Amino acid sequence: MAAPSIRNVAIIAHVDHGKTTLVDGLLKQAGTFRTGEVVAERAMDSNDLERERGITILSKCTAVTWKGVRINIVDTPGHADFGGEVERVLGMVDSVLLLVDAYEGAMPQTRFVTQKAFEMGLSPIVVVNKIDRPGVDPHDVMDQVFALFDSLGASDAQLDFPVIYASGRQGYAIRELGDEPKDLSPILDLIIEKVPPAKGDPDAPLLMQVATLDYDDYLGYMAIGRMRAGRSKVGDRVLLAHRDGSKEEFRVQKVLGFQGLKRFELAEAVAGDIVAFTGMSNLNVGETITSIQNPTILPLLKIDAPTITMNFRVNDGPFAGKEGKYVTSRNISERLQRELKSNVALRVEDTADAGVFRVSGRGELHLTVLIETMRREGYEVCVSQPQVILKTDEATGKVQEPYEDAVIDLDENYVGPVVAELNRRLGQMREMRPSAPGRTRLEYRIPARGLIGYRSQFMTDTRGTGVLYTQFAEYGPQGPDIRTRQNGVLISSEAGTSNAYGLFYLQERGQLFIGPNIANYSGMIVGIHQRDNDLVVNPNKAKKLTNIRTTAADEKLILAPPRQLTLEYALEFINDDELVEVTPQTIRLRKLILDHNERRRLEKERGKASEIDD
Q: What is the pLDDT of residues 516-552, one digit of tens each?
A: 999 999 999 999 998 888 899 999 988 877 776 665 5
Cβ neighbours of residue 556 closer than 8 Å, sequence gap 6 or more = none
CB 309, CB 389: distance < 8 Å: yes
Residue 415 lies in a domain: yes
Q: What is the rounded distance in angstroms from the CA atom of residue 303 to the CA atom of residue 388?
A: 18
pTM over 0.85: no
Please give the sequence-ordered ranges of beta strands (E in DSSP) within 171-307, or none if there are none.
Answer: 172-174, 198-199, 207-216, 220-229, 231-233, 237-241, 247-251, 254-259, 262-265, 268-270, 274-278, 288-290
483 domain residue, yes or no:
no
Q: Find the length of the chain.
A: 614
Domain boundary among 181, 198, 215: 198
- 213 backbone φψ class: left, alpha, beta (φ>0; ψ -120 to 50): beta
Same domain, 225 and 334: no
Average pLDDT, stretch 363-379? 87
pLDDT, mean of residues 220-244: 86
Three-state DSSP class for 299? coil
| 324 in the same domain as 244 | no
Question: Among 190, 194, 202, 220, which Cα is nearest to 273's?
Answer: 202
In contact, 232 and 200? CB cutoff 8 Å = no
The CATH code of the domain that includes 146 is 3.40.50.300
DSSP state of 550: -
Determine the longest span between alpha carbons in the chain, in angstroms. Answer: 98
- Taking only the tens place, the pLDDT of each residue in 316-332 is 889 988 888 988 999 99
Which pLDDT does position 79 carry in this prediction? 67
CATH number for the domain harbouring residue 585: 2.40.50.250
Q: What is the mean pLDDT of residues 64-68?
A: 84
Q: What is the mean pLDDT of residues 189-208?
A: 86
- Same domain flag for 154 and 82: yes
pLDDT in tens, 105-161: 877 677 777 888 888 888 888 888 888 888 788 888 888 888 888 888 888 888 888
CATH code for the domain in which residue 383 is found:
3.30.70.870
* Rounded-to-integer distance, Cα 92 and Cα 558, Å: 61
Residue 393 placed within a domain = no
Q: Is 328 helix (H, G, I), strand (E, B) or coil?
A: coil
Q: What is the pLDDT of residues 271-320, one digit of tens each?
A: 888 888 988 888 878 888 888 888 888 887 776 778 889 999 999 889 98
- pLDDT band, residue 440 (cuts 50/70/90): confident
CATH number at residue 282: 2.40.30.10
Q: Which of 179, 569, 178, 164 is nearest to 372 (CA)?
A: 569
Confidence label for 40 from pLDDT (cuts 50, 70 and 90)? very low
Per residue in 453-501, pLDDT (tens digit) is: 787 788 888 888 888 877 778 888 888 887 767 788 999 999 999 988 8
- In a domain? residue 484: no
- State what percent of residues in the chain have pLDDT above 90: 12
Rounded to an integer, what distance in angstroms lies between the CA atom of residue 587 and that of residue 564? 10
Could you tell me if 567 and 534 lie in one domain?
A: yes
Confirm if 470 and 451 have CB atoms less than 8 A apart: yes
Provide long-range contacts, Cβ within 8 A and 24+ apart, for 351-355. 351/311, 353/313, 354/329, 355/313, 355/314, 355/316, 355/329
Q: Is 63 in the same domain as 183?
A: yes
CATH number at residue 406: 3.30.70.240
Residue 34 has pLDDT above 50, yes or no: no
Residues 426 and 536 both lie in one domain: no
Domains held by the chain: number: 5
The Cβ of residue 412 has, within 10 Å, a number of other Cβ atoms equal to 12
Q: What is the mean pLDDT of the chain?
A: 82
442 & 538 share domain = no
What's the per-residue H, E or C state across 101-115?
ECCCECCHHHHHHHH
CA pair distance 304, 244, nearest whole angstrom: 20
The answer to whether residues 128 and 141 touch, using CB atoms and an 8 Å cutoff, is: yes
Is 302 among the domain residues? no
Residues 347 and 273 in one domain: no
Which range marks the domain in which residue 520 is found? 489-613
Does residue 54 fall inside a structural domain?
yes
End position of a domain, from candidates 388, 414, 438: 388
Looking at residue 492, what is its pLDDT? 92
The answer as to whether 347 is a domain residue is yes
379 and 417 in a single domain? The answer is: no
Instruction: Evaluate whether residue 301 is within a structural domain.
Output: no
Instruction: Decide which of 368, 388, 408 is a domain's last residue.
Output: 388
Is a pLDDT exceeding 60 seen at residue 264?
Answer: yes
Question: Are residues 594 and 518 in contact, defined by beta-carbon separation less than 8 angstroms?
Answer: no
Question: What was the pLDDT predicted at 217?
Answer: 75
Amino acid, single-letter form, for residue 83? G
**189 and 233, same domain (yes or no):** no
In a shared domain, residues 254 and 349: no
Mean pLDDT for 357-370 is 86
- In sequence order, what DSSP letters do the residues of 260-285 get, joined into one string? TTEEEE-SEEETT-EEEEE--S---T
- Name the band, by pLDDT with cuts 50, 70 and 90, for residue 553: low
Q: Is residue 170 located within the same domain as residue 251?
A: no
